[in-house]
Amino acid sequence: MLQATTDRESMLATLTPLCRGVEPDILHDFVSRMDQDYFAVFPPALIATHIALAAHLTPDHPCEVRFAKLDRGRWTITIIAYDYFSEFATICGLLSAFGLNIEEGRIFTSAETDPPRPARASTSYGQRPKPQSRPGLTRKKIVDVFTVIPTEKQPFTAAEQNRLTEQLSRMILLLDDNQFDEARQQVNRQLVEHLGKRRSSFSGLLHTVHITFDNSQSAT
């Protein structure tokens, strides 16, 4: 436990000069609660970028999405958001609905906040003012980084990226409103529409598949 605390303090010292535009409470909250393995996966400069994205999160704006091209066929999609029930399935379904094959996914979630210590309601000097917490600061957050390959021959254009960002933001707002079934149905509808387009564009014939069973090889 002491080693983990020391590691986080060291990471905080490393990240502070890289996060000059980020408020100290946001930086400290991210470093103190994010999954320990996360800090071993990404370099400090990229972690600072993730923290800068997390700084934009608010209850009315619960996710940030960024795209980066790796090579001719692969993209990195980074999603920083509040944590929700069924969120991972929603994200993966939406990526598939946009014709993106997930090659790799690195998924991290921050820990719950420690319960606040009880404070006396008043002192000898009168009512104790309640500290004003930044909206959304203590909510659990995710850092999901996907490596994807477009399954279609068409390029993954800026227009498609904007459309994916808008759709993902809309789905996460539904999750934020506890409309889990509605989010699932909308993603499923888009996925079915995408598969329908792929099927209509396929004109080739599949080779016949022959399957035989040899029960003599196994009693079961």
Per-residue pLDDT reduced to its tens digit, 109-157? 999 876 544 444 444 444 444 445 677 788 999 999 999 999 866 788 9
- The answer, yes or no, to whether residue 220 has pLDDT greater than 60, is no
- The answer, yes or no, to whether residue 211 has pLDDT greater than 80, is no
What is the b/e burial string over 117-131, where b = at least 16 CB atoms within 10 angstroms of the residue's CB? eeeeeeeeeeeeeee
Extract the tokens encoding 62.
């619960």
* Four-CA torsion 40, 44, 49, 54, nearest 10 degrees: 60
Give the pLDDT score at 207: 55
CB 59 within 8 A of CB 168: no
Rounded distance between C-alpha atoms, residue 121 and residue 123, angstroms: 7
Give the pLDDT score at 128: 45
172-195 confidence digits (pLDDT tens): 999 999 999 999 999 999 989 888
Q: What is the mean pLDDT of the chain?
A: 84
The residue ranking higher by pLDDT, 4 or 20, is 20
Extract the tokens encoding 112.
């719950």
Residues of the chain with pLDDT > 90, as a percent, come to 66
